[in-house]
Homo-oligomer: A and B are copies of this chain.
Amino acid sequence: MASTDHEDGTAATRPRRGRGDKAAAIAHAACEVFGRDGYTRASIDTIAAEAGASTRTLYNHFPGGKAELFRSVMQWSAGQVRDEQLVRLRKFLDPQRPPRPEDLERDLLALARAWVALMTDFRDHFALVRHIHGEAGHVPPEVLDAWQEAGPRRVSRELTVVMAALADHGLLDVHGNPAQATAHFMALISAEIAQRSYWGVIPLPPEETDRITAVGVQTFLRAYGAAGRPR
């Protein structure tokens, strides 16, 4: 995410000079502070201090100032989580190799649990996302769109492919709309947890998140299970 990185994430030709890449430290700290305090309340000085850098260094790396820093952090953070989300998706559900029917619920549940765990594994990111929701009216629409495209939408499309594959193999009945099944799957496994945990501020006990996730998957399968295998 540093201004000297290429968009594919590989480091630029010039290797880092300063000890330990100040730009990355600033990005990390900015994610934490923006997530904790929100765009307006977060102060540049706090971010710089938390990154162990000086204010001037921050402006050297992000000449666009606070606004550009926020946009950069949005994209960077969304990419991080999206990558991890896709890793976990492919780990439990390979479109090429569908599970045996009796393993479908087990695999869906494993995926759901792994995804819900992201909320605590990437606490800063999801805090940032909540603030983005609030600030949406103050973020340029194209930035908002780029963020959704880099993060949530790409994941949705990938899961939709899996849903379609499962339907093709007769494991699910998506009623002609795998994208809809995807949206409903996500809603059923995460909406209640988000609300009950005050959007991650006060985490639920693990047993409770496990229970909600399991019931969400069961409900999803009652609605989308293959016609021949109703629960």
Which among B41, B188, B195, B201 is the interface contact of A188 at CB below 8 angstroms? B188
In the assembled complex, which residues on chain B have CB atoms less than 8 Å from the CB atom of A216?
184
Looking at the assembled complex, report how far the CB atom of A71 sits from the nearest CB atom of chain B, in whole angstroms. Answer: 16
Proximity bits, A13-53, B CB within 8 Å = 1, else 0: 00000000000000000000000111011000000000000
Interface size class of A (residues with CB under 8 A): 35 or more
Interface-side segment among A76-84, A97-105, A125-133, A157-165: A125-133
In the complex the two chains form, what is the Cα distance from A36 to B135 in whole Å? 8
* Interface stretch of the complex, out of A58-66, A86-94, A112-120, A136-144: A136-144
Residue of B nearest to A132 (CB): B134
* Closest chain B residue, CB of each to CB of A222: B223
Q: Which of A203-220 contact B (CB under 8 A)?
A: 215-216, 219-220
- Is residue A122 within 8 Å, beta carbon to beta carbon, of the partner chain? no
On whether the beta carbons of B137 and A134 are closer than 8 Å, the reply is no
Q: In the complex, which of the residues A135, A183, A216 has the most CB atoms of chain B within 10 Å of its own CB atom?
A: A183
B133 lies within 8 A of A130 (CB)? yes
- Nearest residue (CB) in B for A41 is B40
A38 B134 Cβ-Cβ under 8 A: yes
